Every structure is written in structure tokens, then in C-alpha cells.
Amino acid sequence: MEDLTYSTPGLLFPAISLLMLAYTNRFLTLAGLVRHLAMEYRHDHNCNLKLQIDNLRLRITLLRHCQTLGVLSLLLVTGSLTALFFESQLLARVSFAVALLAMLGSLAFSLSEIRLSGTALNIELDRVEAAPKEEQA
């Protein structure tokens, strides 16, 4: 088996950084949406708004898990590079392998959050479709 080199764990740095940026942007967007829906819910206790808020709560939790695993992956990649610096191939390989697993977990949580965003859109579409019926009544 070949030795792990600096370039292999180094490849994850840009990928992790881009993922963290994407997660942060999604988190900020959701935070703004939560504030907007919470204010709207105070004025109109619509059940669809409550469903949206519950959905957003779960999505924010998933994004926190994405971010946590992403940061853990970055720390482990850094640990792998540090182990390479001190010429510890075993520690470098283990750290890199766990970093990859953390990245995989982060992506799995991200996939779940993306699926939930589709659910949120369907809730909103249900609310839009119900609006003309309420106006006719």
C-alpha cells in the first residue's frame, strides 16, 4: 500500500470549504424565513404556517448536523496533515478515513435537508391553492 501524501488530504480542503459556505448560506436563508414566518404566524394562526415552522425547525437541526460534521471533517483532515508532518502514516490514514466518513455523514444530512425543503415547498403550494377557495367563501 502506498504512503499517504500531503496532496491527498489536501484535496478535501476546498471541497469542505465550499460545503461549509453552502451550509452557512442555507442556514442564514432559513433563519430569515423563520423570522418572517414567525411574524406572520403571530398575526394569522394558519395551520400551514405552523407546518412550515415545524419543517424549518427540523431543517435547521439537520443543517447544524451538516455543519458540525463538516467542521469535524476539516479538523480531521488537518490532523491527517499534521500526522504526515510528524511522519506517522497510521495516524494520518486513520484521521483521513474518519474525515471522509464525517464528510459522508455531512452529505447524508444535507440530502435529508434538501428532501425536507421539497416538503416545505409543497406546504406552501397547498397554502396558495387554498387561498382562492377561501376568497370565494
With a pLDDT cut of 90, the percent of the chain lying above it is 62
Nearest alpha-carbon partner for 26 in 119, 105, 116? 116
pLDDT tens digits, 19-61: 999 999 999 999 999 899 888 888 888 787 888 888 999 999 9
Assess if residue 15 is contained within a domain: yes
Beta strands in 8-131 (DSSP E): none
Task: Identify whether 56 is part of a domain.
Answer: yes
For residue 3, tell me if it sits in a domain. no
The residue segments making up the domain with residue 54 are 8-129
Tell me the whole-structure pTM to 2 decimals: 0.85
User: Is 134 contained in some domain?
Assistant: no
In a domain, 43, yes or no: yes
Residues with Cβ within 8 Å of residue 76, at least 6 apart in sequence: 95, 96, 98, 99, 102
Residue 35 lies in a domain: yes
| Whether pLDDT at 133 is above 80 | no
- What does the pLDDT read at residue 71? 96
- How many structural domains does the chain have? 1
> Is 47 exposed, middle or buried (CB count within 10 Å of its CB: 0-12, 13-18, 19+)?
exposed
- On whether residue 87 sits in a domain, the answer given is yes
Asked whether 116 and 62 are in contact (CB, 8 A), the reply is yes
